[in-house]
Every structure is written in structure tokens, then in C-alpha cells.
Amino acid sequence: MAMANNKTQCSKCNKDKITFSCEGCSKRFCFAHLTEHQQILNEELNHIINDYDQFNQRINEQNLQNDSLIKQINQWETNSIETIQKKAQEYREIVMKSSQTCINDIEKKFNDLSEQIKEIHRENEFNEINLNYLTNELIEITQELNNSSKISIQQDSESFINEISIVSSKKPKFNKWKQNAITVAGGNGQAHKLNQFNCPEGIFIDKNKSVFIADFGNDRIVEWEYNAKKGKLIAGGNGYGDRIDQLNSPTDVIVDEQDHSIIIADYGNRRVIRWLNQKQQILIKNIRCSGLAMDKSGFLYVSDTEKDEVRRWKMGEYNNEGILVAGGNGKGNKLNQLNYPGIIFVDKDQSVYVSDRDNHRVMKWRKDAKEGTVVAGGNGQGSNLNQLSGPQGVVVDYLGEIYVADCNNQRVMRWREGKEKGETVVGGNGDENLFHQVSGARDLSFDDEGNLYVVDYNNHRIQKFEVIL
């Protein structure tokens, strides 16, 4: 009887021997080479452990670096506090010294006057002239005493503390969008049905993704709820006119989410009007209003294309002329001027961004500034990446990136403040009605997911470009 052959080929020495299988690599090894294979695996494991230890050391070093940075910040805080305390003590001493000098002078005058009164009383010789003199002197001294406390503190706009900033080499992630849009409103031709538009202008998107549209040619405001097939009329729609229940070429709309009222730039009627549950209130009269914005404090901002300016009103105080926040120095292209200001955006610092249409630029006016700065365009009308042509909508994201509806160039651009040129984020593919095209981009906005909405004016639709996550 022959002995059973239980030998197989070793993958290392290629000889027929009694072999053992490795579950990891599925190869078979003779006993001698299995030991060798196991040794190789042990060496690889040691390499991995070594790499792990090195990485762990890097993490500890990073923590030490963070501790060093925190210590620098703490030291800056200590030094700044010491500087403030030193200055504060100097100012206290100045106030005390100044006040005491003034009081000493007043006491001296009072003592002199007191001696004169005693002398007159002792000699018992006086008349109305003496009494008037004493009275006037006492009044004058009293006024000096009252004014002695009128010392004020004036703050210098320039800090005497060295400010620090955190500089990171890690670049922020800038959003991108799918180039084929989804039509979320309109797109059914130019007409007046509730699934149609006639040259839409401004939009507003609320937290529920409902889109409010200023339907310019139909003299109405329409709301399209999320995924709706048609809109619903919420203001106007009663024919062209200047009655309180009518609109005339509305250009922009915002929603006051405090009371859910609709505030409308009623351009043709030269007024800003509020609609709430089909009740109307004219807020501002005699203004050729084009764009609207509201800041976090509830101030209302309105651009005036006739006066080439932007003004701000406190909610409920519309009977005054408002506060000038941009332009107002005549039509022109200087840094303190505007030429047909349109859509506006206000950031958390109350800086106002204005689409300066006929100057082909976007201007930023910081709060209380006397002139603005060019943050997009400003290099003449054109289609190069450092130019704009008739810009309309403008919005700024949380990173400070400026997005512009570059109307005549059929595109939306992103500009980073301080950069010489921008970049096209959607559009720029002609002015027809395909899904990767926009024709006459008027206004734009983001929803809370970062999707980009664009008013496609000439195609009578609202396009949504979905963000790429």
C-alpha cells in the first residue's frame, strides 16, 4: 500500500514539502520558510508600530505648539491689560489734578467775594449797584462751579494696543456648484399666470426655502413654496397703478421675519411699501427705490437710483429722510459717488455692498465711512475676469466672498476682497435658455444649505444651482 502524498509546493523554495497555509497572503510555506515569513511579518509590524509612535510624537508636538501659541496670547493679554491700567491711572491723575485746580480757583474767587460782602456789611454803606455787582459775581462763580465737572472722555480711533491676528496656512474650502441648474420657479414662458413670470427682478429666500419674487412686468410679488409647481400671489396683481393695493414695476422684495410682512421696492410708484395680510402701509415716499436690505438690528436700507445714494431707516421711523450710508455726492465714478445703485447687501458689521451698475463695479461702504472701496470690477465695462458689465445682484457669504450677478456677461462671479480679478462660478455660457445658461442675471441669493439661486431675467425663471458637497 503506497504512502499518501501530502506534500505541496512551498511558495518560497518551490520544493514539494509539507507546507502550511498563511491566512493573510493565502500562500503555502514549508516549516523553515514559514518561520522566515513570520519573521518578515514581525518586522513589518515593528515598522508600523514605529510609524505609529512617530505620529503620536507629532501629535504631542502639535499640542506643545498649541500650548506655546496660547501662552503667547496670554502674554499679549497681560501686556495689554498692564498698558490699559497704566494709561487709566495717568488719566485719573489728570482728571483729579484738573478738577482740583479748577475748584481751587473757584474757592479763591469765592473767598474774595466773601470778604467784599463782609466789608460792605461792616461799613453799612451800599446801594443797588453794589447788590447787583455781588449778585452777578455770585452767578458767575456758580456757573464756573457747574462747568468744572464738564470734563469729557474722547476716544481715539487709533488703538494704542498692538493688535494680534491668527494666521493659518490651512486654506478655507470655497464652495462649487453644479453647472446645470434646476428651475425652481417660472420657466413656462413670459406671461401672467401663476406658473409664469414677466421679467422677474429681485428675490428673497426664507428659512423654509420659499422664494419670494418681484415680478417686475406683472406688477406683483409672488411666493413659490419649496418644490411648488406654481406660485401664489401675495402682493399687487391688481393691475398697473398707484393705488395702495397696486404695484408699478416692483424691483425688489424682502421679508421681515419678525412679523412676516413683505417690504417692496415699488419702483414705478416711487415708494417703499409694506404688505401684511393684504393690508398696506407706505413706509417711504418719493424715492426711486431699486434695492432693499435689512440688517440684524432691523434697520432698513434702500438704494435710490435717482439720487445715486443708499439711505438707512430705523424701523418705525420712516417720517424722516433717513441716514446717508453710501453715495449722495452726485452721479459719478469717484469713491464717494455712485452711478445707478441697484441691489444692496448689508453684512454683520453694517458694511453696505452696492452694485454700482453704470460704473460696472461693486462698492463696499463701511459703517460711517465717507467714501467706499471697489471690491469687484471697476476696470471699465467688459468681460475679462477683472471686469463687470452692468452688475446687478450682490451677496456676501460667511467667508467674506463677494458674489455678483454680472448681468450683461450672463454669469455669476465670485470676488475675494482685495483681489484684482474674480472667477466665474456659474453661467458664462451664452444667453439662451439651457440649464447651464443664464440670460440677464438680475439678482441672486443663497439658501441655508449653500445652494445658489439666480434670477434669470430674460428667460423668466428662477434657477437653483446645487452646491457640491
Query: Residue 459 sits in a domain of what CATH number?
Result: 2.120.10.30
The mean pLDDT value for 79-88 works out to 84
Q: What is the three-class DSSP state of 51?
A: helix
In a domain, 107, yes or no: yes
- 135 in the same domain as 191: no
In a domain, 372, yes or no: yes
pLDDT band at 166 (very low <50, low <70, confident <90, very high): low
Has residue 101 got a pLDDT over 60?
yes
- 356 in the same domain as 298: yes
In a domain, 65, yes or no: no
Has residue 248 got a pLDDT over 70?
yes
pLDDT for 186: 97
Write b or e for each residue in 322-361: b if 16 or more Cβ atoms lie within 10 A of its Cβ, otherwise e: beebbbebeeeeeebbbbbbbbbbbbeebbbbbbbbbbbb
- 83 in the same domain as 231: no
Q: 203 lies in which domain range?
A: 177-467
430-453: pLDDT as tens digits: 989 999 999 999 999 999 999 999
Has residue 168 got a pLDDT over 70?
no
Q: Which three cell numbers stand for residue 338?
A: 455712485
- All residues at 6 or more sequence positions from 151 whose CB lies less than 8 Å from its CB, including other chains: 95, 98, 99
- Longest CA pairwise span in the chain (Å): 162
- 271 in the same domain as 153: no
Q: Is the dihedral of CA 294, 299, 300, 303 positive or negative?
A: negative
142-159: pLDDT as tens digits: 777 777 555 666 666 556
Axis crossing angle, helix 31-123 with helix 128-147, rounded to the nearest 10: 170
In a domain, 97, yes or no: yes
Q: Which three cell numbers stand for residue 109?
A: 474767587
pLDDT for 157: 52
- 140 in the same domain as 249: no
Has residue 374 got a pLDDT over 70?
yes
Write b or e for each residue in 253-268: b if 16 or more Cβ atoms lie within 10 A of its Cβ, otherwise e: bbbeeeeebbbbbbbb
pLDDT band at 4 (very low <50, low <70, confident <90, very high): low
The number of folded domains in the chain is 3
168, 186, 204 - which closes a domain: 168
In a domain, 395, yes or no: yes
Percent of the chain with pLDDT over 90: 58
Report the DSSP pairing between strands 182-186 and 200-205. Answer: unpaired
- 133 in the same domain as 184: no
pLDDT for 235: 96
pLDDT band at 181 (very low <50, low <70, confident <90, very high): very high
pLDDT band at 160 (very low <50, low <70, confident <90, very high): low
pLDDT for 327: 97
* Rounded Cα–Cα distance for residues 10 and 79 (Å): 74
In a domain, 448, yes or no: yes
Q: What is the three-class DSSP state of 441?
A: strand
The mean pLDDT value for 41-45 works out to 84
- 184 in the same domain as 136: no
pLDDT for 326: 97
116, 150, 168 - which closes a domain: 168
Q: Which residue has the higher pLDDT, 392 or 26?
A: 392
In a domain, 268, yes or no: yes
- 356 in the same domain as 230: yes
In a domain, 129, yes or no: yes
pLDDT band at 1 (very low <50, low <70, confident <90, very high): very low
- 41 in the same domain as 142: no
∠ CA 167-173-178, nearest 5°, is 160
Q: Which residue has the higher pLDDT, 6 or 348?
A: 348
- 225 in the same domain as 141: no
The mean pLDDT value for 400-426 works out to 95
- 211 in the same domain as 244: yes
* Rounded Cα–Cα distance for residues 435 and 427 (Å): 9
53-77: pLDDT as tens digits: 778 777 777 667 778 888 888 888 8
Percent of the chain with pLDDT over 70: 92
- 185 in the same domain as 160: no
